[in-house]
Structure 1
Amino acid sequence: MTKNVLITGTSTGVGFESAILFAKNNYKVYATMRNLEKSEKLKQKIQEENLNIEILPLDVTKIDSIESAVKTIIEKDGKIDVLVNNAGAGFAKTTEQASEEEIKWVTDVNYHGVVFCTQAVLPYMRKQKSGQIISITSVGGLVGQPFNELYCGAKFAVEGFMEGLAAYVTDAFNIKITCVEPGGIATEFMTSAIEKSATEGQFATGEYLPIFERYMAGNQKRANEGKEQVYQTGLEVAEVILDISENENPPLRIRTSKWAEDFCELKTKADPDGTKLVKQITDSFL
């Protein structure tokens, strides 16, 4: 039987590549995005390769939008086998200089959206006694980084949410939970954001500026000289996501490159995939 996968944030990058890759591997894909005006590239691929992908609107910051998309899928197919919480956004700015609106936005997009999408699919996965929830976090969900503390805080929250959820829904309802933790991802957006930030210094001023300039110099060096070691393509990350979806006993967490693995080693060495910790939590509380 064909499996259904709901993927958020599919207009570009990892989400775009994941939608195509899952469809090529015989999944029925519901590719969602906030702005359907950005769907033309995906529509073209669907037509060119005759892919089993349906595009739906879904804004992860709006609960009614999430519920509407999930309802549409259930009415069409009666089930959701896999949820890929991919939608998210980077944010680099000092806490002191970030506005209240910006702080709420980065938390809504990167954390609350994951919680509410997960909440929307859980009743159906619980009833069918099967399902898989894969959340794309980041090495920033394990290691705090300068000028990214608000982004990292949201990703840390996703990691804690998924870890707590895994401690009881997997054994009780056969709902498998995984956090996928990429390092840098090479995209046009990433490159332009680095250049824009470096030239305008827009994310730090005053006494923070010289620290920010050192930070940006390091980013540019990695982007220009070490791309093959640090940055992955969206497709490379999508391949990890697909592998996880087809794993009968997936890990709680997985890094997607050697660089990401090395970067997080001090946090992960004792329990690289998180399965020992989930067992300890389950044994302690349940």
Structure 2
Amino acid sequence: MKNILITGTSTGVGFEAALLFAEHNYKVYATMRNLKKANTLQEEAKKRNLSIEILRLDVTDNDSILKAIDLIIAQDGKIDILLNNAGAGFAKTLEQTSQEEIDWVTDVNYTGVIRTTKAVLPFMREKKAGHIINVTSIGGLVGQPFNELYCGAKFAVEGFTEALASYISPTFNINFSLVEPGGITTEFMNNAVQKTQNENGELATGEYAPIFHKYLSGAQDRASNEELPMYQTGKQVAEVIFKVAETDTPPLRVRTSVWSENLGNLKTQLDPDGSKLLKQVQSYFL
């Protein structure tokens, strides 16, 4: 039986992925920062008669990462798939962002991926098998207004993953994949906008306010577009992740919707799944 370690499973994509993989007979280690939020997943798993082991893992806390991985290795002796899903949205202008917020966005969305990846690699390398799937965003390919810090972190994950795949995959048979959703209909965007509010609940955008309100209005319009919807459900994104995990030769990158495919098309049309670029990099350097 294959096992999978998933980060950020209290809600959204991680929540749906944990259930989906369990339904397909994976041994699922569903992790979250705050175990007080575990009840919803536990109840849903029980309702569906699924076995899911829930562990505490905070991607900003290396000790919690190592403790969770040590437990999995002690029980199974391996980690087949790592799904780096944990992340947080952030929509705010750079000028109005504190250094504390900059550090937080980077830590949750980028450095956390580094920590978990570094922790599982020795075990995958020993087995010469494994698959690391990093959930980024179309914002990891295309910079977007008021998302410069979030996009910067996701761009970083993309480069990090491409670089690892260039030499670890052919040498140690460890696959790397980037899953790039557009918008997701979870509390993700609401949380991102809340970061922009001041203590009175007002949008703290100052001179940027007219542009920001136009941005929010456009997001609402895109959300209501039935012909080409921007937003997917967490379950829809989880289904794409599952297909990537089940593929014999998984892609380096994949968009999860027509909307995200269209937005990134100018950057991806010559090499949609990243395989050509990967081969080129390997031919240049190895």
Amino acid at match of 1:75: A
For 2:278 and 2:76, locate their aligned partners in 1 and report how far apart those are by CA, in whole Å.
Answer: 32
- Does the Cα contact within 8 Å between 1:27 and 1:52 map onto a contact in 2? no
For 2:58 and 2:237, locate their aligned partners in 1 and report how far apart those are by CA, in whole Å.
Answer: 22
For 2:233 and 2:73, locate their aligned partners in 1 and report how far apart those are by CA, in whole Å.
Answer: 32
- Does the Cα contact within 8 Å between 2:130 and 2:173 map onto a contact in 1? yes
Are the structure 2 counterparts of residues 139 and 195 from structure 1 closer, same or farther at C-alpha, using a change threshold of 3 Å?
A: same
- Does the Cα contact within 8 Å between 1:194 and 1:216 map onto a contact in 2? no
For 1:170 and 1:73, locate their aligned partners in 2 and report how far apart those are by CA, in whole Å.
Answer: 23
For 1:121 and 1:133, locate their aligned partners in 2 and report how far apart those are by CA, in whole Å.
Answer: 9
Superposition pairs of residues 79-228 of structure 1, within 5 angstroms: 79-190=78-189, 200-205=201-206, 207-226=207-226
For 1:156 and 1:194, locate their aligned partners in 2 and report how far apart those are by CA, in whole Å.
Answer: 21
User: 1:235 — aligned with what?
Assistant: 235
How far residue 201 of structure 1 moved from its aligned partner, in angstroms, is 4.5
**Count of residue pairs brought into register by the alignment:** 284
For 2:63 and 2:191, locate their aligned partners in 1 and report how far apart those are by CA, in whole Å.
Answer: 33
- Does the Cα contact within 8 Å between 2:90 and 2:192 map onto a contact in 1? no
**5+ residue gaps, structure 1:** none
User: 1:279 — aligned with what?
Assistant: 279
Identity of aligned residues (%): 61
For 1:214 and 1:200, locate their aligned partners in 2 and report how far apart those are by CA, in whole Å.
Answer: 18
TM-score (norm 2): 0.95
Amino acid at match of 1:104: D
Amino acid at match of 1:233: T
How far residue 224 of structure 1 moved from its aligned partner, in angstroms, is 3.3
Are the structure 2 counterparts of residues 59 and 227 from structure 1 closer, same or farther at C-alpha, using a change threshold of 3 Å?
A: farther
**5+ residue gaps, structure 2:** none
Range moving further from structure 2, 45-54 or 240-249: 45-54
Range moving further from structure 2, 218-227 or 26-35: 218-227
For 1:226 and 1:150, locate their aligned partners in 2 and report how far apart those are by CA, in whole Å.
Answer: 29
- Does the Cα contact within 8 Å between 1:106 and 1:150 map onto a contact in 2? yes
- Does the Cα contact within 8 Å between 1:194 and 1:219 map onto a contact in 2? no
Are the structure 2 counterparts of residues 68 and 278 from structure 1 closer, same or farther at C-alpha, using a change threshold of 3 Å?
A: same
- Does the Cα contact within 8 Å between 2:88 and 2:188 map onto a contact in 1? no
Q: Deviations over 1:138-161 (max 9, x none)?
A: 000000001000000000000000
The DSSP-based 3-state class of the residue aligned with 2:178 is strand
For 2:254 and 2:58, locate their aligned partners in 1 and report how far apart those are by CA, in whole Å.
Answer: 26
How far residue 188 of structure 1 moved from its aligned partner, in angstroms, is 4.2
Are the structure 2 counterparts of residues 193 and 133 from structure 1 closer, same or farther at C-alpha, using a change threshold of 3 Å?
A: closer
For 1:141 and 1:119, locate their aligned partners in 2 and report how far apart those are by CA, in whole Å.
Answer: 21
* Aligned residues: CA RMSD: 1.8
Are the structure 2 counterparts of residues 217 and 227 from structure 1 closer, same or farther at C-alpha, using a change threshold of 3 Å?
A: farther
- Does the Cα contact within 8 Å between 1:194 and 1:220 map onto a contact in 2? no
How far residue 49 of structure 1 moved from its aligned partner, in angstroms, is 1.9
The DSSP-based 3-state class of the residue aligned with 1:59 is coil
How far residue 202 of structure 1 moved from its aligned partner, in angstroms, is 2.2
- Does the Cα contact within 8 Å between 2:91 and 2:147 map onto a contact in 1? yes
User: 1:57 — aligned with what?
Assistant: 56
For 2:87 and 2:162, locate their aligned partners in 1 and report how far apart those are by CA, in whole Å.
Answer: 19
Range moving further from structure 2, 222-231 or 260-269: 222-231
- Does the Cα contact within 8 Å between 2:91 and 2:195 map onto a contact in 1? no
For 1:158 and 1:52, locate their aligned partners in 2 and report how far apart those are by CA, in whole Å.
Answer: 31
- Where do 4+ consecutive residues of structure 1 move more than 3 Å? 188-201, 224-228
